Structure 1
Amino acid sequence: MEAVPSRCLFLLFLVTCELSPDITAEIQESSDGPRASQGPVWLTDVPSAMEFIAAAEVAVIGFFQDLEIPAVSIFHSMVQKFQDVSFGMSNDSEVWAHYNVTGNTISLFRLVDNKQLDLESEDTESIDATKLSRFIEINSLHLVTEYNPVTVIGLFNSMIQIHLLLIMNKASPEYEESILRYQKAAKLFQGKILFILVDSGVKENGKVISFFKLKASQLPALAIYQTLDDEWDTLTMAEVSVEHVKNFCDGFLEGKRPRENHESEDKTPKVEL
């Protein structure tokens, strides 16, 4: 397919990659883990709710009038499952009004793009643990979100149309320092660019790497992609630094494309993988 509607090429490429049993187990394992027994934070007024949301990269709030409905206990179980998400609850009328809630609702708030995602009241009433878990998994975007076939859905549901991928092996000795620098750079572009980590050590991620015409010998590398018009560019580097990431992003935002026309480099029709 030579001509693909805007933002569809990369999305088609990613979501048509099947979710293998190994990846499913990996996602499940990453979500589970030991956590002190605790419940959601009780939010009694608008200032406390605003402070709660502002302090978390991802916050999930249960707006429940009736604390006896099954959804409440299911909501409590999510606190143990998701280690990097903050959970709160509120039945205060002013808090509900502030967030445009009119009935039992579960809402997810993302710092990365200041977005509020709501489950409809009827969905909340009939929610089960699997559906709520998937709602949170799909939509939990952080300053740096690790790519997998679940998070990719949430990435393309974001209004932010420019995505930056750090493609790097998480098992490499340089990973810990590199990801800290990458996270620091992500704060500089909050609301403008979604920062993503692609673990090159995961076999299935080879399709993402090949999409950007990169080889293992060129990693770590950055790949930047604009979903609106399928424009993209890459930068290979010996070391991940805040300066390298910032300069690369600034150049793309300013319209500087060292490799302006990728299709001129490869005239072969693109195919779905």
Structure 2
Amino acid sequence: MGATPSRCLFLLFLFTCKLSPDVAAEIQESSDGSGAPQEAVQLTDVPAAVKFIAASEVAVIGFFQDLEIPAVSVFHGVVQKFHDVSFGISTDSEVQAHYNITENTISLFRLVDNEQLNLGTEDIESIDDSKLSRFIEINSLRFVTEYNPVTVIGLFNSMVQIHLLLMMNKASPEYEESMHRYQKAAKLFQGKVLFILVDSGVKENGKVISFFKLKKSELPALAIYRTLDEEWDTLTTAEVSIELVQNFCDGFLGGKRLVSRENHESEEKTHKVEL
């Protein structure tokens, strides 16, 4: 089914948001990582590969039939840049068959929506450090993914059409505990709802907040959104709890208070006339 014109405009708005120097630096820092060098794990059989993928929110595996191709050295180089991603390599034919691999392929696996995204031979022949890094940055969705103009591409490429946004300032004293509860709630909706954090302390995120007709003075707040038809709802809250998040998601999934952007705009015009 094709996207509606309004959804296309929304996606265009999200995709074309420019990174501020601070946001760009933060993304680069998260990619570069620090600490001891890590290496790709050798996956020699199917049980080892299954266990490896299940143990990581995001795992990247190089399925290579030939370890002498240039892509292998590129793969090893990128491993050092992403310390929050698990990397593996497998040349075993049974492992490759288990994941429907028939050629040199680099695959990204993510638990949040059980997706397997592949870079096949055609892509790998021209792969370099920046292309592979970009592929990982865009598609590394987690149980809670922080919104930025890079991750939003992966979010809207996911088959999961319902997104829940927690809009909150990461500098607030309540952030750590709220995030802990939010992450726990996210696991209850694996494969059904993508959980997103929007840091209201980032100036560029003000457009996302205003899209849902919210003001910074009303935050923290939750916004739930369905990409297919733009139905959405919001909930302001002083405290983020697992029960609150669960009830809000369950209500939306059950058809409670489904409101479209057009309806919100219509309501606003009505209120202005009444005033």
TM-score between both structures, scaled by the size of structure 1: 0.93
**How far apart in 1 are the matches of 2:216 and 2:127?**
43
Query: Are the equivalent residues in 1 in contact too, given 2:222–2:234 (CA < 8 A)?
Result: yes
**How far apart in 2 are the matches of 1:265 and 1:17?**
28
1:255 and 2:255 correspond:
yes
Per-residue Cα deviation, 1:196-246 (whole angstroms, up to 9, x for no partner) = 000000110011011111111111100110001001111000011101101
**CA separation of 1:6/1:100 partners in 2, compared to 1, >3 Å: closer, same or farther?**
farther
Partner of 1:155: 155
Partner of 1:203: 203
Query: Are the equivalent residues in 2 in contact too, given 1:104–1:125 (CA < 8 A)?
Result: no
Map 1:1-273 to 2 at 5 A: 4-5=4-5, 7-257=7-257, 261-267=263-269
How far 1:4 sits from its partner (Å)?
4.6
> Which moves more between the two structures, 34-43 or 158-167?
34-43
2:129 partner letter: A
Give 3-state SS (helix, strand or coil) of 1:234's partner. Answer: strand
Query: Are the equivalent residues in 2 in contact too, given 1:169–1:201 (CA < 8 A)?
Result: yes
**How far apart in 2 are the matches of 1:264 and 1:10?**
18
Query: Are the equivalent residues in 1 in contact too, given 2:39–2:76 (CA < 8 A)?
Result: yes
Per-residue Cα deviation, 1:232-266 (whole angstroms, up to 9, x for no partner) = 11100001110110111011001101757323223
Unaligned 5+ segments in structure 1 are 269-273
Matched residue count: 266
Query: Are the equivalent residues in 2 in contact too, given 1:35–1:80 (CA < 8 A)?
Result: no
**How far apart in 1 are the matches of 2:259 and 2:225?**
13
User: CA-atom RMSD, angstroms?
Assistant: 1.7
Higher helix share: 2
Unaligned 5+ segments in structure 2 are 271-275
Query: Are the equivalent residues in 2 in contact too, given 1:6–1:229 (CA < 8 A)?
Result: no
**How far apart in 2 are the matches of 1:33 and 1:55?**
20
**How far apart in 2 are the matches of 1:251 and 1:5?**
27
1:256 partner letter: K
**How far apart in 2 are the matches of 1:160 and 1:85?**
21
**How far apart in 2 are the matches of 1:266 and 1:52?**
51
How far 1:17 sits from its partner (Å)?
1.5
**How far apart in 2 are the matches of 1:186 and 1:194?**
8
> Which moves more between the two structures, 153-162 or 117-126?
117-126
State the structure with bigger RCO (CA 8 A, min sep 6), 1 or 2: 1
**How far apart in 1 are the matches of 2:192 and 2:117?**
19
> Which moves more between the two structures, 205-214 or 253-262?
253-262
**How far apart in 1 are the matches of 2:124 and 2:216?**
45
**How far apart in 1 are the matches of 2:226 and 2:126?**
37
Query: Are the equivalent residues in 2 in contact too, given 1:171–1:201 (CA < 8 A)?
Result: yes
How far 1:152 sits from its partner (Å)?
0.3
> Which moves more between the two structures, 232-241 or 35-44?
35-44
> Which moves more between the two structures, 3-12 or 177-186?
3-12
1:199 partner letter: D
2:118 partner letter: D
Give 3-state SS (helix, strand or coil) of 1:60's partner. Answer: strand
Give 3-state SS (helix, strand or coil) of 1:81's partner. Answer: coil
